[in-house]
């Protein structure tokens, strides 16, 4: 009797192994995990103040030819700010922009916790009734402002 262990036997073993693996043989089914204990809903987190500049004051004065805004700002970020542009949007009584003027802080760079004055002047217009101040850092984009002016 001649024994044949050639390709037929190899093919048979391959089929058995493939079917065994395909059916998940050798692995035990995982026991269902218990349902997690219900936890009470978390208290909502208090909003985090991410302000970088604090507007301390901004006062308007006018002559027959100009309107000037003089203000004070504080760097409340943990880092020095450099090249800060001050923008003042001069608006009519309805809040529509009449014109926007830009200037710089008197102190540049401005270290953390330091204050600086700014002064923005524009030609007088009877349409100008209010203004809005904003700050941006050169190559850094807008700075988040906290308005602490007393009304």
Which domains does the chain carry? 53-147 (2.60.40.10)
Q: For residue 52, which of 144, 142, 126, 131 has the smallest C-alpha distance? A: 144
- Does the predicted model carry a pTM greater than 0.85? no
pLDDT, residue 11, reads 43
Residues in the chain: 151
Q: Do residues 128 and 67 touch, judged by C-beta distance below 8 A? A: yes
- For 29, how many CA atoms within 13 A lie in the half-sphere containing its CB? 3
Return the residue matching tokens 């349409």: 127
Residue 96 pLDDT > 80, yes or no?
yes
pLDDT, residue 51, reads 87
């Amino acid at each position: 009797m001649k024994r044949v262990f050639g390709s037929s036997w190899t093919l048979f073993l391959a089929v058995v192994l493939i079917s065994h693996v395909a059916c998940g043989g050798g692995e035990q089914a995982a026991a269902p995990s218990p349902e997690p204990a219900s936890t009470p809903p978390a208290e909502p987190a208090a909003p985090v103040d991410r302000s970088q500049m604090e507007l301390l004051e901004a006062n308007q004065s006018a002559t027959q030819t100009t309107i000037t805004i003089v203000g004070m700002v504080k760097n409340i970020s943990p880092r020095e700010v450099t090249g800060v542009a001050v923008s003042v949007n001069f608006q009519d009584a309805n809040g529509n922009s009449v014109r926007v003027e830009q200037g710089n802080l008197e102190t540049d760079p401005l270290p953390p916790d330091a204050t600086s004055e700014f002064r923005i002047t524009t030609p007088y217009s009877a349409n100008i009734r209010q203004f809005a101040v904003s700050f941006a850092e050169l190559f850094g984009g807008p700075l988040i402002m906290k308005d602490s002016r007393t009304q």
